[in-house]
A and B are shown apart, each in its own frame.
Chain A
């Protein structure tokens, strides 16, 4: 694990948290991701945008090896977290996913109580030694997800009884409760109404102070609002990756320009 050759030199501010080089993903015979190189900076919100089917979600799922669960998916290339190859045979995907958390497109709370939903990750990873510590983690996580005030009186209620926006914030609370270093969000607002979306976006901005956040979105406005870096994917390729302001105001590639001005996609 501590192979020195693989350790990148550590830099203090906005260092590269994750680094992808020459990543290829195949679904059976379908070459879904072609030669993607991305550096994801620490404590930054990085947005992946692109038309449907461009591979942005697929690439996101490579970052915590969720594609491992799909039998026909095959991943090539090199993805590193803090300089460590996450596809190294010695790496346990379970440990990786504890560090690289994920929030999904559709809110998917467990059919358990709100408390148990948030407490699940800390429990399986042994983050709390006793009930009191667990209570603290649950409250902190729910506060961080801006949900505490709405649910503090009914932590025993079923997570599935909440509204869609609340469920998604519960899922975010559940993801941050394990104290990840990177938080992956796969279109977290696509099932939410505008008010809930605004709440979640505000939340993402807060989370940036602690984690590196990677968000896949089909809404360019959302990418522009929440992210500092934006990657534009098209047909499985990474077309352009730059500061968000450059992507939207001064794109270098004509395809990016077409997309952000609404001509393709």
Chain B
């Protein structure tokens, strides 16, 4: 030790703890830089997210309300009879009740234009009500029905009254009519429940997400039912039983590759195999679920393997040391401890599947279907494909509905991811 004292490099340096040498200053600068870069990255990510959500909300919020008009409808026995209910003149009855509210409209020449104020679906609302209670025939009932899309947009301010008449969707006469109805207190804009209770429609004011929501539910259900057991089985075999050799390495590499395959390729595969070869029904959530299960499986396998690996070996040793068989160790100890991680991975995989569009387009889940599926084998759309269809539609009402549908989809994704985080925090054990 003594001979080392003379070399200056090893001599004890007596500097103050508060000393700010060049070395310390440089180190601090680098640390600040690193922190700044990290903070900047987070700021960028949040700004982009904010812009996205803000633009969706600003265009989409109007779709969550619907302009409606309240009418006093005289159910004229001359037009509507109980015997020939389906062929009744519901539209004429409704149009007449609107004409009653518009004193300056001519019942002859303005008939078509006045009829256009109401949504095409209004007559069906009246028909269903009369069918449910035929005693209404001959009476005058109060009925609230949606306005057609142009008037809805006018009410929501999406049609500018200052635009020259020739370039406006509604002419001056129509605007006057709307204002007359509004002044009569007939116009209301309640929450648009039809967005969730109606299936798709040609008419934006009637179009809803029910078909897409039910379709997406079936798709995810089938996807989960297939990918969860298969994924966990594969992961357990690979992690706990498979010998570690070239074959298992090869399988592992390929599973990781599978997770990176573009989703459209899975769609083509499903089209070729499920539809053309197996002859499964087109546009069916069953096929959509199978297709997405192929995509979700690698995610679940990878997440499950990671969760199994994270179970401390001491637990396995403890059980093996007591004379438990491999199967008892896996099912009695390792799997229950890995379950939170497995479920988290599964939910994230399903959330990914929920938003997947391309494979569903290829198996025809972007068809125009006006009723919700009652089974996984009925033709249906799913949330992302419904967004795709609406985004393609020219009507003004579909623009805001597209944004609204995206918001609904994002809402489900947030719920699923929050559930995954909750499960992880609630059930994860710390060692």
**A residues lining the B interface (CB < 8 Å):** 64, 66, 69, 71, 94-99, 101-104, 106, 108-111, 120-121, 124-125, 171, 174-175, 178
Contacts and interface: CB of A to CB of B under 8 A. Distances in A.
- In order of increasing CB-CB distance, the 9 nearest A-B pairs are A98-B323, A102-B321, A108-B314, A97-B323, A121-B322, A108-B318, A94-B325, A94-B323, A124-B324
A84 B192 CA distance: 80
Contacts of A171: 318
Contacts of B333: 110
Contact of A110 (B243, B319, B320): B319
A21 to B, nearest CB: 24
Given A108-B315, A124-B328, A66 B322 contact: no
A101 B320 CA distance: 10
Contacts of B429: 111
Judged by DSSP, the binding face of A is helix
Given A71-B243, A71-B244, A111-B337, A125 B323 contact: yes
A124 B323 contact: yes
Contacts of B104: none
Interface residues of B, number: 20
Interface string B268-288: 000000000000000000000
Interface of B: 243-244, 312, 314-325, 328, 332-333, 337, 429
9 contacts: A64-B321, A94-B323, A97-B323, A106-B314, A111-B315, A120-B319, A124-B323, A171-B318, A175-B322
B239 to A, nearest CB: 13
B321 A104 contact: yes
Nearest to B314: A108
B321 A66 contact: yes
A174 B322 contact: yes
Contacts of A98: 322-323
B243 A101 contact: no
B317 to A, nearest CB: 6
Contact of B322 (A69, A106, A120): A120
B67 to A, nearest CB: 58
A121 B323 contact: yes
B339 to A, nearest CB: 12
Interface centre among A94, A96, A99, A175 (most CB of B within 10 A): A94
B243 A97 contact: no
A101 B321 contact: yes
A66 B314 CA distance: 12
Given A66-B317, A111-B337, A124-B328, A95 B322 contact: no
Contacts of A96: 323
A91 to B, nearest CB: 13
Interface centre among A103, A108, A125, A178 (most CB of B within 10 A): A108
A96 B323 CA distance: 7
A110 B323 contact: no
A104 B317 contact: yes
A57 B317 CA distance: 14
